[in-house]
Amino acid sequence: MLLTLVIWQRRQAPGAVPLAVLVSAVALWSLAYMFSFTGTTLAAQLFWINLALVGIVLVPGSWLVFALIYSGHGAWLSVRRLLLLTIMPLATLAAAWTNQQHHLFRSGVYLVNTGSFVVLETTFGPLFWIHTAYSYLLLLLGSLLLAHSLFRMSHSYRGQASGILIGLVTTWAGNALYLSGLSPFPYLDLTPFALGISGIALTWDLLRFGLFELVPIAYGTVFQSMDDAVIVLDGRDKVVEINPAALALIGRESREVIGHPAERIFADQAEIIARYRQVSDVSEELVFGTAPDERSFELRISPIFDRNAQLNGRVIVLRDSTERRRTAMALQRQNEELAAFASENARLYSAVQQELAERKQTEVSLSLAKEAAEVANRAKSRFLGNMSHELRTPLSAILGYAELLKISARKQGSQDLVNDIERIQVAGQHLLRLISDVLDITRIEAEKLDLHPEYVDIATLVRDVEDTIMPLVQKNGNTLQVDCAPDSGMMYADSTRVRQVLLNVLDNAAKFTERGQIWLRAGIGSAVAQQGADMSKSDQSIVALFQISDTGIGMSPEQQRDLFKEFVQVDDSPTRKYGGSGLGLVISYRLCHLMGGTIAVTSTLGQGSTFTIELPVRMAVPPHTDHPSPRM
């Protein structure tokens, strides 16, 4: 009972209440079972055994509830399911106390004199075995959950594993000895004594390791593999968890950090420790050292609250922003240089304009206009490339933290919050794809997009594309029919860029088709037209042919003429129904020509469109690459 009081003092902690019920049930079971040995009559023995049964029926359910909460599955425990767990215990107690009327729980009872004491020998009925099977099922489920949580546990919580493991092994070993008849005390049930040892082991965890101070239920691969340094402090500013990135940053091992005060671990940063000692929520940038060895970090401190909204600890996240800071400074210098260049260019342009007015030389004006356009185009490409890189880094972090928030919200049972976070993820993925398209366009325009040809099985490539695009096809109620023979053959090409072209065209078909049909045909065929590729004569008439057709809205001749221009939409009205940036087909068009192939479209307004993609079966290796010559 002392153990119950100790646990009850921590009843606000996850898992404490069912563990208190479990320990109390074991205590009642053990005490009533021991008192049964003092009875010398059958009625007295039955009274104590029936009283012990009250503790017995509480053990399986409380064991399972504790295991569910400790292993991180507490959201499963709704009020309805908890009430269902009480049906079998109540029915068992009713059957035991009314056994004289039906004999379904005990078909026979009698006293056996062992020499030292009198014990009750029982022949059990069918209701007993039903309750026994039910109890073993709950105990087994709880044991499996606890065992699984031990294997997933952080090294810093392995001390807790000793008590839990002793509890698991002792309980099952005691019951196995009793049921198998191998017990040195044939008439003595060792199960309550084994459960008592389990309770003592869990108490050891509770008092020495703080079993309920921070249950390791959210510990997993995401935390361990994060590039950001993460440190978790408890309410007394002691380090209770730290990930490998943080250990690498401070140059220590986990055993030197876990359980120690933060001010001792970071003694060389006493000023920073003092500044943030009482801060529970902040987002700032810290700069250490001086140029050129200066390093900067984004500091994020977030509070951890318990169920009573009391501050229970803090999470400290440090992200190395040194490269981002250097990139920002370099970008600022580039902007200053660009502004100076623009100013100088404006001065030169003014001088030339004056000269043009004096000499009326139209040819000079055209030459300057062309030069200014090329400068502006290069500046645009450099600006878009820099901005794409700068946007992708924080956007990737946003998506990563959104995934962590979704995991936390799902474990807390906040489905509305999960839905909102998923909307954030969808919007972020859409923005990330748009940024990637802009980056591809700038690389192509700057002639910095390298191709990496390899031998590709056409049928395997088509199956991969089919699996990827299927969710988008089904989103608008469409069906996709693929016509590609398993022995379609091989091609020597950049598989990543070929897949990108096919996915862009299929995405376009799925977007502009609703409850319709989409076809993808692929194979080796004869070329309709060949452009740009420097191939041998034997390869010029043989191409990898991909044809994508749909029953969508189709296009007019005017729309087809502008289809492969940047940022042009088929539906360009102020209230457009279809989304998109207008870059997907432009990128596909330029990639096809870059790989020595072609892409063409035929369409009828209101009836659908057909895109035909022809790529050489052996792509020519660019002169600046070091790929070996392909052998077909």
Structure confidence at residue 629 (pLDDT): 40
Read off the DSSP letter of residue 35. Answer: H
Output 155 or 270, whichever has higher pLDDT: 270
Q: Using H for helix, E for strand and C for coil, what is the string for 582-629?
A: CCHHHHHHHHHHHCCCEEEEEEECCCEEEEEEEEECECCCCCCCCCCC
Counting residues of the chain whose pLDDT is more than 70, the rounded percentage is 70
Give the pLDDT band of residue 536 (cuts 50, 70, 90): very low
Right CATH number for 325-445 from 3.40.50, 1.10.490, 1.10.3470, 1.10.287?
A: 1.10.287
Structure confidence at residue 632 (pLDDT): 35
Domain 221-320: give its CATH code: 3.30.450.20
CB 24 within 8 A of CB 50: no
3-state class (DSSP) for residue 140: helix
3-state class (DSSP) for residue 67: helix
Give the pLDDT band of residue 36 (cuts 50, 70, 90): confident
The CATH superfamily of 454-616 is: Histidine kinase-like ATPase, C-terminal domain (3.30.565.10)
Which residue bears the tokens 């959950």? 145
- pLDDT, tens digit, 9 for 90 and up, residues 239-265: 888 888 888 888 888 788 888 888 888
Which residues on adjacent β-strands are paired with residue 480? 518
Structure confidence at residue 531 (pLDDT): 41
Closest by alpha carbon to 29, among 51, 47, 8, 61?
51
- Structurally, at CATH architecture level, domain 2-209 sits in Up-down Bundle (1.20)
Structure confidence at residue 323 (pLDDT): 81
- pLDDT, tens digit, 9 for 90 and up, residues 187-221: 566 676 676 676 666 666 655 555 554 444 445 55
Strands (E), 382-530: 454-457, 479-483, 490-493, 517-526
- pLDDT, tens digit, 9 for 90 and up, residues 91-125: 999 998 898 888 888 888 777 776 666 777 777 88
Please tell me the pTM assigned to this model.
Answer: 0.38
Q: Which of 96-110, 136-150, 322-336, 376-390 has maximum average pLDDT?
A: 96-110
Domain boundaries, the chain: 2-209, 221-320, 325-445, 454-616
Structure confidence at residue 537 (pLDDT): 40
Structure confidence at residue 547 (pLDDT): 96
Is it the case that residue 457 has pLDDT exceeding 90? yes
Output 602 or 631, whichever has higher pLDDT: 602
Output 351 or 173, whichever has higher pLDDT: 351
Q: Which of 77-91, 109-123, 157-171, 459-473 has maximum average pLDDT?
A: 459-473
Give the pLDDT band of residue 545 (cuts 50, 70, 90): very high
Structure confidence at residue 538 (pLDDT): 42
Structure confidence at residue 20 (pLDDT): 77
Structure confidence at residue 218 (pLDDT): 45
